Amino acid sequence: MLNRLANLNAEAQSYYNKWNRDKKLVTIANAEKDLAVNNTLQKIIKENGLDLDILLKKKTDEDPSLLSAGDAAREDRENLENINAAAK
């Protein structure tokens, strides 16, 4: 009986480990996709002669509450870059 319980526990642990690993891989894949989209948007903005920082400054001059949102977005981008670098 104890042997059977030990086997069931080991099997459950194996499934949990696989699920946890898969969850991490999905998180990394989503972060890479978000980073790719962000990089593409930045490329389009630069190709069209636009500067994202200037656009953000213009908007934040109009509405100062957006300043913290811009800082948060910049921090999110840095976090995604760090996740992507750690995944490699």
pLDDT for 5-63, tens place per residue?
888 888 888 888 888 888 888 888 888 888 888 888 878 877 877 766 666 666 666 66
Give dist(CA 78, CA 74) in Å, integer: 6
Provide the residue range defining the domain that includes 40: 2-87
The confidence score (pLDDT) of residue 13 equals 87
- The values of phi and psi at residue 55, to 5°, are -60, -45
- State the pLDDT at residue 58: 67
Query: pTM here?
Result: 0.39
* The total number of structural domains that make up the chain: 1
